[in-house]
Structure 1
Amino acid sequence: MPSPILTHSYYSDFFANKGYAFLKKMASDYQPPQELVIFSVMHCYEGSLPYINVLAELGSKLVFIPKSATAEQNQGLKETIETIPNCEIVAPQFNKQSLRDPATAEALIRQSIGADSQFLILDHGGYFSHTIEHLSQVFAEQCVGITELTANGLYKYLNKSFTKPLVTVSHLSIKAPADYEASECIVHYSDQILREEFGLKINNDEFLKVGVIGAGNLGRGVIQYLKGKGISCIQVADIDPRKLTQFPRNGVQVSSLERLVKQCNMLFCCTGNGALSEVLLDSLDKSVFIATVTSADDELRLPELIANGALVEVGGHQLVREYHTRNGHSLFLLAGGESANTPFKTGMGDPTLYLFEAAHMLAGLQLLEDPSRFKAGVQALSEKDEIMIAERWLNHFYNYG
C-alpha cells in the first residue's frame, strides 16, 4: 500500500501522522466489504487529509463531495486529494444545490457504483436530505445507510420517511471540544476580518455592540472567547429560555431576539437554522456586521431572503459580502457568508477534530458490520461507543492509560 498523503503545503507531518494513526486504529476493528463505495461530504481543509486517506482505504472507492465554502478557494488542495488512491472528487455540477434534485443525486450514485457495490453516505450538513427518500427506494439493495455529522444537517432529515438507517453524531458530548475550538476560530477570524476590511476592533464597545443568537455549544463558545477579548457588554438570545438561565450570573445580558437585533450591530448567528427572519431584517434601523457559524444558506436561509427581496446583494469578495435591506441598510456578511474561519487555513495541531471524525466513521462502520442492529430512520450513536472513542482518543494523544 502506498504511503498516505497527509499534508499539502505546510509542515504538520507529526500531527497528521498522529491523527491518521488514530483513525486507522479505530477502523481496524472492522472488515468492510470489498466492493464498498463511500460518499463523503466534508470541508476541503488540509486538516481533513488524514480522515480522507483512512476512508479511501476502507473500500474500493471514496467519492469526495467538497463543501463549497472551502472547495472554491482550495483548488490546489483538491488536486492533492485527487492523487489519493481510490479517491475521486465529484464534478462541480454535483454541489449542495444540485444534489437537492433526486435525478441528479441518483445520477451521481449510478456513475460511481458497480452492479455488486454497496454504498454508504457520510453526510455533513444534510446534502442528501432532500433526496434520501428517493435514494433509499431506488437503491434499496445497495444503500447501507447514512451518517450525519452536524445538528443543522440532522434537522433537514427530520420528518422524512425513508427506509434506511441514519446514525447521527451531531449531539455527542465528545463533539463539544471541537465546537469550542470552532468558536475560538470564529471569534478570532471575525476580529481579523473586521480589522483588515473595516479598520475595526471587535472589542471596541464604542463602535460595536455585540450580540450572540443561539446558546448551544457554539454560541456558548463564542461568548467565552468574546469575553476573553475583553468585551464587557454581550447580549445573548435563544428561542429556548432554559438555555439563557446560565448567563446572568456570568455577566452576560440575556435578551429577546428583537431587542438584541435592535441594540447590537455585530451579530454572531449560532443557531444553524434561520437565525434572522425577514421581519427582523425589515426592522433594522442601522447597518450590521454578521458572522455565522455555518453557511448563511442554512444559518440565515439566505436564498429565501434574496428570493423574497428582503436582501439584495450589492458587492463583496471572499472576506466580506454586502447586502442591502429593503430600508437601504447594509448587512455585511463576514467570510462571504460562510463560517468565519473558512477563508483561513485550519491546521491539525488540535486533535479534537479526530473525535468527531472517529465517531462519524465508526457509525458508518457499524452500519456496514451489522445493519440489523439499526432501525430505519434517525438514531444516535450509542453512549457506550462514545465512551470508547473518548478513552481511545485520550490514550492515543495524551497517554491517558
Structure 2
Amino acid sequence: MPQPILTHSYYSDFYAAKGYDFLKQISQCYNTPQNLIIFSVMHCYEGSLPYINVLAELAHQLIFIPKGATANGNSEIKATIEKLPSCTIANNDITKEHLRDPLAAESFIRQYVKADSKFLLLDHGGYFSHAIEHLGKVFKEQLVGITELTANGLYKYLNRNLNHPLVTVSHLSIKAPADYEASECIVHYSDQILREEFGLKLNNDGFLKVGVIGAGNLGCGVIQYLKGKAIGNILVADIDPRRLTQFPRNGVQVSSIERLVHECNLIYCCTGNGAIPEHLLDTINDNSFIATVTSADDELNLPSLIANGALIEVGGNKLIREYQTRQGHRLYLLAGGESANTPFKTGMGDPTLYLFEAAHMLAGLQLLCQPDDFKPGIQPLNETDETAIAEHWLRHFYNYQ
C-alpha cells in the first residue's frame, strides 16, 4: 500500500502521523465491501489529510466534497488530496446550493455509483438534507445511511421523511473539546481581523460593546475566551432561558436578542441557524461587526436577507464583507461571512479534531457493518461507542492507563 500523504506545507508530520494511526486503529475493527463508495463533505484543511487518507483506504472510491468556506483559495491542498489513491475531489460546481436540487444530487451520485455499489453519505452541514428523501427512494438498496457531524446540519434533516438511518454525532460530549478549540480560534482571529482591517482591539470598551447570541458549547467557549482577553461587559442571549441561568453568577449580563442587537456593535452569532431575525437588522447600530461560528448562509440566512433587501452587499475582501441595511447602516461580516477561524490554517498539534472525526467515521462503519443496530430516521451514536473512542484517544495521545 502506498504511504499516506499526511502533510502539505508545514511541519507537523509527527502529529499528523499520530492522528492517522489513531483513526486507522478505529477503522481496522471493520471490514468494508470491495465496491463501497463514500461521499464525504468536509473542510479543505491540511488538518483533514489524515482523516481523508483513512477514508480513502476504507472505500473503493472516496468522493471528497470540500465545504465552500475552505475550498476557495486552497487549490494547492486540493491538488495534494487528488494524489491520494482512490480519492476524487468533486467539481467546483458541486456546492451546498447545487445539491439542494434533488435531481442534481442524484445526477452527481450516479457519476460514481454503479448498480452493484453500496454508498455512505458522511455529511457535514446538511449538504444532502434537501435531496435526501429523493435519494432514499432512487437509491433505496444502495444507500447504506447518512452520518451528520454538526448541529446546524442535523437541524436541516429534521422533519424529513427518512427511509434510511441517519446517525448524528453533533451532540456527543467528546465533540465539546473541539467546539471549545473552535471558540478560541474564532475569538483569536476575529481580534486579528479587527486589528488588521480597522485598527481595533477586542477589549477596547470605548469602541466595542460585545454580545454573544447562543449559549451552547460554542457560545460558552466564545464567552470564556472573550473574558480571557479582559472583556468584562458581555451580553449573552439565547432562545432557551435555561441556558442563560449559568451566566449571572459569572459576571455576564443576560439579555433578550432584541436588546443585544440594539446595544452591541460586535456580535458573535453562535446558534448555527438564524441567530438574528430579519426585522432586528433594522435596529442594528451603524458600523456593527458580526462574527459567525458557521457560515453566514446558515447563521444569518444571508441569501434570504439579500433577496429581501434587508442587506445590500457593498464590498469587501477575504477578511471582511461589507453590507448596508435598509437604514443605510454599515454592517461588516468578519472572515468574509464564514466562521472566523476558516480563513486560516488549522493545525494537527491539538488532537481534539480526531475525536469527532473518529465518531463520524465509526458511525458510518457501523451503518455499513452492523445494519441491524439501526432503524430508519435520526439517532445518535451509541454512548458505549462514544466512551470507547474517548478511552482509545486518551491512551493513544496521552498515555491514559
TM-score (norm 1): 0.99
**Cα distance in 2 for residues equivalent to 1:284 and 1:142:** 49
For 1:115-130, what aligned pairs fall within 5 Å after superposition? 115-130=115-130
1:94–1:104 contact (8 Å) kept in structure 2:
no
Stretches of structure 2 that go unaligned for 5 or more consecutive residues are none
Alignment-derived partner of residue 391 in structure 2: 391
Deviations along 1:226-285, whole A, 9 cap, x unmatched? 000000111100000000000000010111111111111000000000001111001224
Deviations along 1:166-218, whole A, 9 cap, x unmatched? 00000000000000000000000000000000000011011000000000000
Alignment-derived partner of residue 145 in structure 2: 145
Letter aligned with residue 94 of structure 2:
F
Alignment-derived partner of residue 270 in structure 1: 270
Deviations along 1:89-146, whole A, 9 cap, x unmatched? 0011111100000111001110011221100000000000000000000000100000
Alignment-derived partner of residue 20 in structure 1: 20
In the TM superposition, residue 338 of structure 1 has moved relative to its aligned partner by 0.2
Dislocated runs of 4+, deviation >4 Å:
none
Alignment-derived partner of residue 162 in structure 2: 162
Give the RMSD, CA atoms, in angstroms: 0.6
In the TM superposition, residue 53 of structure 1 has moved relative to its aligned partner by 0.1
**Cα distance in 2 for residues equivalent to 1:129 and 1:230:** 41
In the TM superposition, residue 77 of structure 1 has moved relative to its aligned partner by 0.4
**Cα distance in 2 for residues equivalent to 1:36 and 1:14:** 30
Alignment-derived partner of residue 71 in structure 1: 71
Q: Secondary structure at the match of 1:197?
A: helix
1:210–1:266 contact (8 Å) kept in structure 2:
yes
Q: Secondary structure at the match of 1:120?
A: strand
Alignment-derived partner of residue 92 in structure 1: 92
Matched residues, number = 401
1:215–1:236 contact (8 Å) kept in structure 2:
yes
Letter aligned with residue 397 of structure 1:
F
Alignment-derived partner of residue 356 in structure 1: 356
Q: Secondary structure at the match of 2:232?
A: coil
Alignment-derived partner of residue 290 in structure 2: 290
2:265–2:285 contact (8 Å) kept in structure 1:
no
Q: State percent identity of aligned pairs.
A: 75
2:291–2:340 contact (8 Å) kept in structure 1:
yes
1:321–1:334 contact (8 Å) kept in structure 2:
yes
In the TM superposition, residue 370 of structure 1 has moved relative to its aligned partner by 1.6
In the TM superposition, residue 73 of structure 1 has moved relative to its aligned partner by 1.6
**Cα distance in 1 for residues equivalent to 2:31 and 2:108:** 26
Q: Secondary structure at the match of 1:160?
A: coil
1:82 matched to 2:78? The reply is: no
Alignment-derived partner of residue 32 in structure 1: 32
**Cα distance in 2 for residues equivalent to 1:73 and 1:32:** 34
Letter aligned with residue 240 of structure 2:
D
TM-score (norm 2): 0.99
Letter aligned with residue 253 of structure 1:
Q
For 1:2-401, what aligned pairs fall within 5 Å after superposition? 2-401=2-401
2:36–2:117 contact (8 Å) kept in structure 1:
yes
In the TM superposition, residue 149 of structure 1 has moved relative to its aligned partner by 0.1
In the TM superposition, residue 150 of structure 1 has moved relative to its aligned partner by 0.1
